[in-house]
Amino acid sequence: MESIELQQTFFQHIKSRLPSNLALVDEVADLLGISNDSAYRRIRGEKPLSFEEVQKLCRHFQISLDHVLNINSTSTVFYGSWVDKESFDFDKYLLDMLFQLQAMLKTPGCRMYFEAKDIPPFHHFQFMELAAFKYFFWMRTILQYTDYSKMSFEDHPLSEALHKTGKAIIDTYNQIPSVEIWSVETLNSTLRQIEYYKDSGVFKKKDTVMTLYNQLEQLIQHIEAQAESGVKFQAGHQAENGMAEYQLFFNEVILGHNTILAESGDEKTVFINHGVLNYMITRDKRFCNYTKLSLENIMRKSSLISSVSEKERNRFFHVLREKINRRKTDLVTHPL
């Protein structure tokens, strides 16, 4: 392929990543600090890109140059920023999550696959006390913020972003056709986090703990309702025709890794969770295709319990409810 054609292909790849409301020439001009005319000449291949410009474009648009140039490399490029207590901004963290979901939604024919070691985070935003608890746990235990070290859960300030951005997150997620793979272990991390804080005296009131268990139970009931109908909808509402498809698989063998695959035709993006809050992102074609094959293999070894398999679905959700009910019973019979 000639250098001019390679450069044109590079910009076509960038354009495919842009939301429909953004103009390629404006984005390139702003990023490189050049005029629109100079940007046009680069896009058309009339002026060669410098190595520095290629680096800026690849970094900003999260593009693997190996992928674009079809270089057979054994390396895989991942993108992402790492959360730490010096730089963590919870509002920005939620906005970044919303941006990724909105980008998926704007991609024609997009479908999301979620291999769920833990409850997918989007679901929590329909239950505010549960979402607030997750936020508090992250700040106190994962990031170890000093201000939270002696704070009771009931005393922490509720972030407005949990209401505003959180609602936008679940609204957007509910419009994306999705496949989720759960196991009976998917509930465990949230139960253990509540139990740990209960035993550590972080809660002032037994009623607070019971509220969290009740909201967790409501979340599970809502997931079951979505699985029964085969579509996504807001908690407390009814399923309707035309809503985004929801497929739920029950896996009894393999423990998930909180891996997300977003797919639209031949274009795929993989998000790999690590360190609780972080996600590494790649669009490397080989890695994404491998991930898709791995997910398909897990799905073949799982039971589809959405829209079909009522008996298997009831058995699965009965196990999850029993996990919650045992802790509710223990809370009633034992003081904090």
| pLDDT tens digit sequence for 291-303 | 999 999 999 999 9
pLDDT of amino acid 13: 75
Tens-place pLDDT, residues 154-209: 998 777 777 889 999 999 999 999 999 999 999 999 999 999 999 999 999 999 99
**Average pLDDT of the segment spanning 239-252:** 93
Please check the confidence at residue 318 and state whether its pLDDT lies above 70. yes
pLDDT-derived band at 20 (thresholds 50, 70, 90) equals low
Distance CA 248, CA 240 (A): 18
Query: CATH class for domain 3-68?
Result: mainly alpha
Q: At residue 244, what are phi and psi to the nearest 5 degrees?
A: -65, 140
**Average pLDDT of the segment spanning 204-219:** 96
Please check the confidence at residue 43 and state whether its pLDDT lies above 80. yes
pLDDT of amino acid 55: 85
pLDDT-derived band at 130 (thresholds 50, 70, 90) equals very high
3-class SS string, 50-92 = CHHHHHHHHHHHCCCHHHHCCCCCCCCCCECCCCCCCCCCHHH
- Mean of pLDDT over the chain: 88
pLDDT of amino acid 59: 80
- When mean pLDDT is compared across 7-21, 116-130, 164-178, the lowest value belongs to 7-21
pLDDT-derived band at 66 (thresholds 50, 70, 90) equals low
Most confident of 64-68, 247-251, 256-260: 247-251
Please check the confidence at residue 1 and state whether its pLDDT lies above 60. no
pLDDT of amino acid 199: 93
Please check the confidence at residue 222 and state whether its pLDDT lies above 80. yes
Domain boundaries, the chain: 3-68, 90-333
pLDDT of amino acid 73: 60
- When mean pLDDT is compared across 17-26, 166-175, 309-318, the lowest value belongs to 17-26
pLDDT of amino acid 87: 76
Residues 6+ apart with CB under 8 A from 182: 116, 248, 249, 250, 251, 256, 316
Please check the confidence at residue 71 and state whether its pLDDT lies above 60. no
Say which residue, 65 or 215, is predicted with more confidence: 215
Strand order in the sheet with 111-115: 278-282, 267-274, 259-264, 111-115, 178-182, 246-250, 303-304
From 71, 66, 101, select the one nearest 260 (Cα to Cα): 101
